[in-house]
Amino acid sequence: MPDLPEPDVHGDALLAASVLFGRALHAEGLAAGPSGAIDFARALTLVEIGDREVVRAAGAAIFVRHVDEIATYGRVFDRFWRVAGAQLEGPAPARRRQTGQSGAAADAAPDVDLLPGQRMRRVGYSAAERLRHRDFATLTPDELRDAERMIDALSPRLATRRARRSQLAAHGRALAPRAMLRANLANGGEPIEWVWRRPRRNPRPLVVLADISGSMDRHARLLLRFTHALSRTPARVEAFVFGTQLTRISRQLRERDPDRALALVAQHARFGSGGTRIGDAFRAFNRHWARRVLPTSGVVIVLSDGWDHGKPDLVAEETRRLARGCHRLIWLNPLAAAAAYQPLAAGMAAALPSIDHLLPAASVADLQGLGRLLAGLARNARRAA
């Protein structure tokens, strides 16, 4: 994508609109304070403001704390923000653009009204695009917070597979006799209303195994934010962290707020301390957890740079066992983002023959690439022999 010219941004208008939106949410009972408004204003400089659903997701990641607040948030969002073509307009007091041209021409206008007399173009698009490709290890604290908000706003779409059970439907290829009989009891059993069955499609279960040793601390925290975004999908998601021992954190990641979820994980597991024993962690998962949380249709995502203080032979053996028990084994390595990367670390080299996909995991763009891979996994394709 070519770099766009630096946009004309009215920061005061952006913040003012965010504060007004926060007040509207607060009036409906949501906990939307000044800090949330600031975070939302910053998030709008990082996402494509012309995409209504992206803006909606960014606000939800900041303001929604409980599942029962989702409907209220959506109602306030739709009332507060208006759409003109593909552009997002500001709150109700904002003036509409005046034009003597056709509606199509008006919709093509590049500016967005936030408040009366104040306009902005595609806010911070070039800066956001640069941040999207920045290595997590190079980010300042403010940039890291912006990257976290970008990850929170992601809405992964996962590929589905045909489930064993079917579901009732108004149309299909196979009739559902019992359901059809019940539906027509009032008609004396005459088949006036037809009921069909069709295959149910579910996303593949996901298991995440994240290395939280010292060299992986920052990257692991950001991958777990992405895992939190995955947990908001219909997929069944299980998450574990490991350094010298394996710890399950699935329950902590079910907390609606990503910041709160990561804080709970930090209380439950020790980030950034000790070495890494990949083989021991995989053996613990294979022996004690695999049968409980990983069906053969599931996808396993491992995050590790491959540096291991254990025995390479154990890593190779347990990785083979892990791969045999799942549909796909995806390994994310932050070092793989470098063009000259070679999997020379003993643990990485030992695991490599059993891995289906080795991907970089050093930026927001890399995590978006993982999302695209998960969305495009072949539904019934088998692992190559």
What pLDDT does 383 receive?
Answer: 56
Answer yes or no: do 242 and 356 share one domain: yes
Q: Has residue 1 been placed in a domain?
A: no
Q: What is the phi/psi pair of residue 282, to 5°?
A: -65, -40
Q: Has residue 121 been placed in a domain?
A: yes
Strands (E), 65-218: 82-84, 87-89, 112-115, 118-120, 160-169, 174-175, 196-203, 206-211
What pLDDT does 96 receive?
Answer: 36
133, 150, 170 — which closes off a domain? 133
Answer yes or no: do 214 and 348 share one domain: yes
What pLDDT does 14 receive?
Answer: 73
Q: Has residue 152 been placed in a domain?
A: no
Answer yes or no: do 268 and 279 share one domain: yes
What pLDDT does 365 receive?
Answer: 92
Q: What is the phi/psi pair of residue 149, to 5°?
A: -65, -35
CA distance 94 to 20: 12
Answer yes or no: do 238 and 272 share one domain: yes
Answer yes or no: do 270 and 312 share one domain: yes
Which residue type is seen at 66? H
Q: Has residue 242 been placed in a domain?
A: yes
Answer yes or no: do 70 and 214 share one domain: no
Q: What secondary structure, in 3-state letters, does 219-231 show?
A: HHHHHHHHHHHHC
Total count of domains within the chain: 3
What pLDDT does 320 receive?
Answer: 97
CA distance 379 to 162: 8
177, 202, 227 — which closes off a domain? 202
Strands (E), 266-380: 299-303, 328-333, 357-360
Answer yes or no: do 90 and 109 share one domain: yes
Answer yes or no: do 52 and 170 share one domain: no
The stretches in the chain having pLDDT less than 50 are 1-10, 83-125, 380, 384-385
Give the CA count within 13 Å in the CB-facing half-sphere of 225: 26
Closest CA to 150 of 121, 168, 125: 125
Encode pLDDT of 309-363 as tens digits: 999 999 999 999 999 999 999 999 999 998 889 998 999 999 999 999 999 999 9
Q: Has residue 224 been placed in a domain?
A: yes
**How does 157-185 read in b/e, with b if 16+ C-beta sit within 10 Å?**
ebbbbeeeeeeeeeebeeebeeebeebbe
Domain residues for the domain of 173 are 161-202
CA distance 16 to 13: 5
What pLDDT does 122 receive?
Answer: 42
CA distance 348 to 358: 10
Please tell me the pTM assigned to this model.
0.67
Q: Has residue 15 been placed in a domain?
A: yes
Strands (E), 205-333: 206-211, 237-242, 246-248, 299-303, 328-333
Answer yes or no: do 356 and 240 share one domain: yes
Q: Has residue 292 been placed in a domain?
A: yes
Answer yes or no: do 171 and 38 share one domain: no
Q: Has residue 145 been placed in a domain?
A: no
Answer yes or no: do 196 and 250 share one domain: no
Please say whether the beta carbons of 224 and 316 come within 8 A.
no
Q: Residue 341 is part of a domain; what is its CATH number?
A: 3.40.50.410
Encode pLDDT of 153-182 as tens digits: 887 878 777 766 777 777 767 777 777 777
Answer yes or no: do 86 and 171 share one domain: no
Tell me if residue 239 falls in helix, strand or coil: strand
Strands 237-242 and 246-248: antiparallel
